[in-house]
């Protein structure tokens, strides 16, 4: 992405990416349900384990991802070129 982003930047076109972590969505709820069933655990226990793996101690709220998206689509990010932005509560960079 960086090469293309650099080529078009002089034309006031910015190319960036958002890399989402785990957000509280129907897909994650399905994952929690399936894992609970497969491991014979409660949904609450599976959710707690999932949240404990994230340095923020929780799943993301979908509006938090929306705010990041709105930012990179706004004039406020005009100097942001060729970047991948992690929106994951710190999961990618954690050792846990």
pLDDT in tens, 8-30: 999 999 999 999 999 999 999 99
Do the domain assignments include residue 7?
yes
CA distance 7 to 21: 29
As a dihedral over the C-alpha atoms of residue 62, residue 68, residue 72, residue 75, rounded to 10 degrees, the angle is 110
Do the domain assignments include residue 59?
yes
CATH of the domain at 45: 3.40.50.720
What is the domain count for the chain?
1
Average pLDDT, the chain: 94
Do the domain assignments include residue 34?
yes
pTM score, two decimals?
0.81
CA distance 16 to 56: 24
Do the domain assignments include residue 92?
no
Q: Range of 55's domain?
A: 2-87
Do the domain assignments include residue 39?
yes
């Amino acid at each position: 992405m960086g090469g293309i982003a650099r080529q078009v930047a002089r034309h006031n076109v910015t190319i960036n990416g958002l890399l989402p972590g785990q957000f509280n969505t129907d897909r994650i709820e399905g994952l929690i349900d399936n894992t609970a069933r497969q491991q014979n655990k409660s949904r609450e226990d599976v959710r707690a384990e999932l949240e404990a793996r994230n340095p923020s101690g929780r799943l993301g709220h979908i509006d938090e991802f929306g705010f990041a998206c709105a930012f990179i689509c706004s004039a406020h990010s005009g100097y942001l070129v060729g970047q991948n932005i992690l929106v994951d509560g710190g999961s990618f960079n954690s050792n846990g």
